[in-house]
Amino acid sequence: MFCQVIIDIVHENVASPFTYRIPEGMQLQPGQRVSVPFGRLQKEGIVLSLTEQCELEANRIRNVIEPLEEYAAIPPELMNLAEEMAREAHCPLAETLRLMLPAQMRGGRVHVKTERTACLNVTREEALSAAEREKRSPKRAALLRFLADENIHTVKEITSLVKDPNEALKKLAADGMIRLESEEMLRTPGNVFEQPEDPGFTLTPGQEEALEEILPCLNGKGGRFLLHGVTGSGKTEVFMAAVRSALNYGRSAIILVPEIALTPQMVSWFRSRFGPVAAVIHSRLSPGERFDEWRRIRRGDARVVIGARSAVFSPARDLGLIVVDEEHESTYLNDHHPQYDAREVARKRCDRENATLVLASATPSILSFARARRGDYMLLEMPRRVMNRPLPEVEIIDMREELENGNRTVLSGALRKALKDCSARGEQAMLLMNRRGYNSFVSCRTCGYVVKCPNCDISMTYHMASTDGLLRCHYCGQMMKPPAICPECGGKYIRYFGAGTQKVEEEVHKLLPGVTTVRMDYDTTGGKDGHGRILEEFRSGRARVLIGTQMIAKGLDFPKVTLVGVVAADMTLNLPDYRSRERTFQLLTQVAGRAGRGERPGRVIIQTYKPEDPVIGYAAGQDYRSFFEDEFRRRRHGLYPPFTLLVRFLTESVSEDAALAAANRIEQGTRKMLEAHPEWQKKLLLISNDAPSVKVLRGKNRRHVLMKLLVSREADEMIAAMNELSREEYENAEVWFEVNPTTMM
């Protein structure tokens, strides 16, 4: 017997499988990891297929050294998925296969943790009476008594009670009194959040109707749904009921969330309702814990998996359901190595495994809603909040008027008053400020010089600290002292402009002295469980105001929040990206949806310099449909995705010339390609070669070549050819290739 093995190296020259002989007596199956000789080295690989014949000369075929596990680490469904993804992303199979395994499993950095155990081989009574008779060795007598206590059985526990027990244990085992074994131990982490009771709701009519459509699909029929429910309509409850039903059919479920640290509530609900059959895949798990969760899923012990995008590759047994919560979030996109969209992967898996796909959001992505309208997903709508709670009332404040009235602070008169009232009533508030730090830039009043990062073409942000403040680059982390005099003109008047979360927090302290606030942004959420601590402060009511970046808009459910303030709504609107309107609408609608989720109604104040912008209006009215129609028309008119594919080559080099030369070569290469394929020319709508909005990043000069392709079969062929182009060697430059890139920066 022979096998084809994909060597775990990502390199052009080892992309195809290599053939090895399976030695006599060794059993292998596809998906199993093996150790094989490779050149003069020993490498890990994955068995792709088995064959009885082999074309190569017998003496040129080498033997598999050994299997790395007894079982196939990658089940057949995921092997197929990896092959399909590699074909579509035009990347080596080794790259997509890696997605299917916990990273630390490669190179043998994690193993099953085993512990030596001892257990009685006789009844408890027999053991206790043997202990009585055991006159010669008090140690053996003590061991028998301990082992008769059912809670003690690992050799480690025994050693903490009886010194040097090994000899005595061996003797007892030889006498047939006990058995010495080794047992697989799980490093599965405990639940750090308190366990809520099952609330036992009566489902709302909206929830009932949605479930009526979903449940019949879970028994192997499969289906695809887009659950569009307004904020607070109780979407989580729909998932839980669907998961329960899938489990009852003997199938498993995967729940994807944008970021696990931001969904402690959902995780604890799932843990408390599904207990040990739930596995949580968390980026802060230790390698061992992560591996053990993966093992529990692979063995079929864990049947509900909750995690961020990579959890879509979990080896769940008999998959019945995949839920993608907050499906509009860009965290579902993996931008490199390989590029994938977890929503698309989920869809593929569901199709292959006859499972049901449920995408859910209050603000679905343009792409998903367009598909639902075409009938590709069944649209389920929940237009009402639970208990018929009203959607919050939204007010738009024109910040230009505030300026005219002499208010130069970040909080408008209306927001100040609302914060005071909210605080006086003992309720909670959330303030969204989508930029961290204190001031957003520092500039010389005399000559206009703006302090920029030495490594990036980005202005530095001022951060307050307990001692002195520092300027920081939000792209590369570079820090420096703010200049006392202008390095350009020697001017003495250095001014600090713009605001970030720190400044907003300071304003709130001035306005509401003595009121505890918490700030949630990239700076405060480092360390183990940074998010959890902050959310717990707020959930418990100890902190009254939560100030944060877009992190606070991701599906949080705090019933005591009655006021939401958006400090600067236009910030994301002005980004140079065709999705900036979609992102702004989602962000505003989602954060507004955090208000009034409990018994008391909510109020939202949106501050903007562009109150006339329709996007602000749609978000204020929580009017998804009008936003969608408007944006869809705009995309069609401007030939943006989903009507076209955007292709981007990004070149990076320490040398400006090298980055430019690489971009020019790519442009010429593409034009040559078009000359050779006249039928492709009609499909290319635009080609541009210039500097992106950030011209220098982390010390590297950048250029990008952008193309717009009409969605078509030819476009797929063109992308394959362009991908080849991106994998060529470029002198002194790196080239990144992306289709519909996550950022245009």
* Contacting residues toward ligand ADP, per CB under 6 A: 201-204, 207, 229, 231-237, 386-387, 555, 557, 597
**Separation of alpha carbons 66 and 35, rounded Å:** 5
- DSSP annotation string for 256-296: E-S-GGG-HHHHHHHHHHHGGGEEEE-TTS-HHHHHHHHHH
- Positions in 477-496 near Zn ion (CB under 5 A): 478
Contact of residue 229 among Zn ion, ligand ADP, none (CB under 5-8 Å per partner type): ligand ADP
Pick between residue 237 and residue 570 the one whose CB is nearest to ligand ADP: 237
Residue pair 227/238 in contact by the 8 Å Cβ criterion: yes
Which of residues 31 and 232 has its CB atom nearest to ligand ADP in the complex? 232
387 binds, options Zn ion, ligand ADP, none, Cβ within 5 to 8 A by partner type: ligand ADP
**Cα atoms in the 13 Å half-sphere on the side-chain side of 112:** 16
**Residue 274 to residue 248: CA distance in whole angstroms:** 12
User: Taking contact as CB under 5 A, which single stretch among the options 132-140, 187-195, 258-266, 467-475 is the one that binds Zn ion?
Assistant: 467-475
* Contact between 475 and Zn ion per CB under 5 A: yes
Cβ contact 225:357 at 8 Å: yes
Q: Which H or E run contains 170?
A: helix 166-174
Q: Is the peptide bond before 559 cis (omega within 30 degrees of 0)?
A: no
Q: Which of ligand ADP, Zn ion, none has residue 234 at its interface (CB below 5 to 8 Å by kind)?
A: ligand ADP
Among 55-63, 103-111, 314-322, 452-460, the segment contacting Zn ion (CB under 5 A): 452-460
Asked if 745 interacts with Zn ion (CB under 5 A), we say: no
Interface with Zn ion, residue 453, by CB under 5 A: yes
Selection from Zn ion, ligand ADP, none that 386 binds (CB < 5 to 8 A by kind) is ligand ADP
Residue 473 lies near Zn ion (rule: CB under 5 A): yes
Task: Write down the least CB distance from residue 369 to ligand ADP, Å.
Answer: 17
Residue 336's DSSP bridge partners are none
Q: Which H helix or E strand runs over 324? A: strand 319-324
- Residue 440 and residue 55: Cα distance in Å, rounded? 66
Q: Is 476 in the site for Zn ion (CB under 5 A)?
A: yes
127 binds, among Zn ion, ligand ADP, none (CB under 5 to 8 A by kind): none
Q: How far apart are CB 234 and ligand ADP at their closest, in Å?
A: 3
Question: What whole-number distance in Å separates Cα of residue 7 and Cα of residue 48?
Answer: 10
| Partner whose binding site includes residue 701, from ligand ADP, Zn ion, none (CB under 5 to 8 Å by kind) | none
Q: Classify 374 as helix, strand or coil.
A: helix
Distance CA 122, CA 178 (A): 7
Q: Which amino acid is it at 357?
A: L
Tokens of 297: 């899923």
Q: Which does 326 bind (CB under 5 to 8 A by kind): Zn ion, ligand ADP, none?
A: none
Smallest separation, CB 264 to ligand ADP (Å): 13
Cβ closest to Zn ion, residue 443 vs residue 461: 461
Cα gap 439→442, rounded to integer Å: 7
Site string for Zn ion, 76-115 (x = CB under 5 A): ----------------------------------------
Q: Which is nearer to Zn ion, 220 or 477 (CB)?
A: 477
DSSP result, 660-719: HHHHHHHHHHHHHHHHH-HHHHTTEEEEEEE--SS-EETTEEEEEEEEEEESSHHHHHHH
* Least distance in angstroms from the C-beta of 266 to ligand ADP: 8
For residue 11, how many other CB atoms are within 10 A of its CB? Answer: 9
Size of the site for Zn ion (CB under 5 A): 7
* Residue span binding Zn ion (CB under 5 A) among the ranges 98-106, 461-469, 475-483, 581-589: 475-483
696 lines the binding site for Zn ion (CB under 5 A): no
Identify what 475 binds: ligand ADP, Zn ion, none; CB under 5 to 8 Å per kind.
Zn ion
The residue range among 28-36, 41-49, 85-93, 469-477 that interacts with Zn ion, by the rule CB under 5 A, is: 469-477
Of 16-24, 362-370, 453-461, 497-505, which part binds Zn ion (CB under 5 A)?
Answer: 453-461
CB-wise, 556 or 697, nearer to ligand ADP?
556
Burial 265-274 (b: 16+ CB within 10 A, else e): bbbbbbbbbb
456 binds Zn ion (CB under 5 A): yes
- The sign of the dihedral angle between the CA atoms of 473, 476, 480, 483 is negative
- Residues forming the site for Zn ion (CB under 5 A): 453, 455-456, 473, 475-476, 478
